[in-house]
Amino acid sequence: MATSSFNPGELANLLKDFPILSREVHPGVSLAYLDSAATSQKPASVIDAMDEYYRRTNANIHRGIHMLAEEATAKYEDARQKVARFINAHSEREIIFTRNTTEAINLVAYTWARANLKNGDLVILTEMEHHSNLVPWQILASERGIRLEFIPVTDEGLLDLDAYQQLLAQEPRLVSFMHMSNVLGTINPASEIVRMAHAAGAVALVDGAQSVPHFPVDVQDLDADFLAFSAHKMLGPTGIGVLYGKEALLNAMPPFLGGGDMIKKVMLRSFSANSLPHKFEAGTPAIAEGIGLGAAVDYLTHTGMDRIAAYEHELTSYALDRLSEVSGLTVIGPRAELRGGVAAFTLADIHPHDVAQLLDREGLAVRAGHHCAMPLHQRFDLPATTRASFYLYNTRADIDRLASALERVKKLFG
């Protein structure tokens, strides 16, 4: 990899930015947080930006004339610009703030899809999707009779692009897929999948919940029509997410929720919708959280997404090596070169809940279950897995702790 990751001094400084990492989780037991795919920890700069907003600026945005309202509006809209630059959108009008990835995908399902899809139209998804990119389309399927097809997942945990090519012959209207799997870690060839979708005349939605936080994502390179992601997985707060959409598409879509802020004009029996992005943002938004997201983007940009990706890649390779030394442990998903910082595994026939609980005793925070991807687990014939996931604040020491704790779990159940 061309880009260098962090040197030990940089890493030590970076760790100090995350206050939570210095807490004990049990008496005398320090935290090794290996659950960033669920939600990331927050640097002090993000916490401070939100704290500062409430202490000094708090006011409702967009309508007020007073100083606080103007400051609050400026900060909130400034965050939108930061997000637009971060993913290289043409304009901040293409950045719709939502609550999270889930709401961003639902927004497309409730507006674009309801305006454009009819009985019999095909939507292509994949077998590896998170429930948030399955259920909205299932709801639409039962409501309107749209058809769903799924790009299969190979035994190695990759999308079968030949099968995808064949599905495209059925002229789908939409292809909606995850950029990176939250279970397999697979980084899908998103630009290629989008290009193929466009060649078949379909619109492409990319679930960027696991990609945008971890490596550079450029919507111009990707050429996706929609990209959804959550602030809380990229060092930002919960309660705010993003739907990026190409401006022409967003303009042609009907609004989502109705209410204040999304209107230009309201009469007793009718309204006209506001311009982008406000058209899709009814009611008072998560203002502090938007500002927190802006601070998170600053942190990531300042640290360098290339370097974060390079560091996580090293860490993931190391983790896969260390985990492969634990006998009876099987990691699902592809080899290190094709994946991001996620390792879901089984350990002999020990139930993942037991594994996670015992790891917690040693201060290791991992996740056990189906990780909101039940169909994917069924595909691999597994009821559940244990998942360790990494971010820029994890170290080799965390992984060493994980590997040796897993040995002790095995011994207890041996």
Ligand X SMILES: Cc1ncc(COP(=O)(O)O)c(C=O)c1O
Binding footprint of ligand X on the chain (CB under 6 A): 37, 100-102, 130, 132, 178, 182, 207, 209-210, 230, 241, 372
DSSP letter for each residue of 143-191: HH--EEEEE-B-TTS-B-HHHHHHHHTT--SEEEEESB-TTT-BB--HH
Task: Pick the piece of the chain touching other proteins (CB under 8 A) from 152-160, 294-302, 351-359, 393-401.
Answer: 351-359
Q: Is 247 a catalytic residue?
A: no
What's the min distance (Å) between Cβ of 188 and ligand X? 11
Residue 354 binding other proteins, by CB under 8 A: yes
Question: How many C-beta atoms lie closer than 10 Å to residue 310's C-beta?
Answer: 18
Q: Name which of 231 and 262 has its Cβ closer to ligand X.
A: 231
40 binding partner (options other proteins, ligand X, none; Cβ < 5 to 8 Å by kind): none
Q: Is 384 in the site for other proteins (CB under 8 A)?
A: yes
Choice between 73 and 230, CB closer to ligand X: 230
Between 105 and 122, name the residue whose CB sits nearer to ligand X. Answer: 105
Residue 165 binding: pick among ligand X, other proteins, none (C-beta 5-8 Å cut-off by kind): none
> How far apart (Å, rounded) are the C-alpha atoms in residues 144 and 142?
6
For the CB of residue 354, give the shortest distance to other proteins in the complex, in Å: 5
The nearest distance, CB 369 to other proteins, in angstroms, is 6
Judged by beta carbon distances under 5 to 8 A according to partner kind, the member of other proteins, ligand X, none in contact with residue 367 is: none
Stretch that binds other proteins, among 33-41, 322-330, 339-347, 364-372 (CB under 8 A): 364-372
Nearer to ligand X, 232 or 246 (CB): 232
Instruction: Report the SS3 class of residue 87.
Output: coil
**Which residues touch 229 (CB under 8 Å, ≥6 apart)?**
101, 104, 207, 208, 209, 211, 212, 213, 241, 242
DSSP character at residue 223? -
Cα–Cα nearest to 342, from 361, 306, 367, 360: 367
Q: Per the residue annotation, which of 11, 38, 44, 372 is the catalytic one?
A: 372
**Edge-to-edge strand ranges of the sheet holding 226-230:** 95-98, 241-245, 226-230, 203-207, 174-178, 122-126, 147-151
CB of 243 vs ligand X, minimal distance in Å: 11
Residue 169, exposed/middle/buried by CB under 10 A (0-12, 13-18, 19+)?
A: exposed
CA dihedral of 192, 194, 195, 199, whole degrees rounded to 10: 140
Residues belonging to the active site: 372
Q: Which residues bind other proteins (CB under 8 A)?
A: 351-354, 357-358, 361, 368-370, 377, 383-384, 408, 412-413
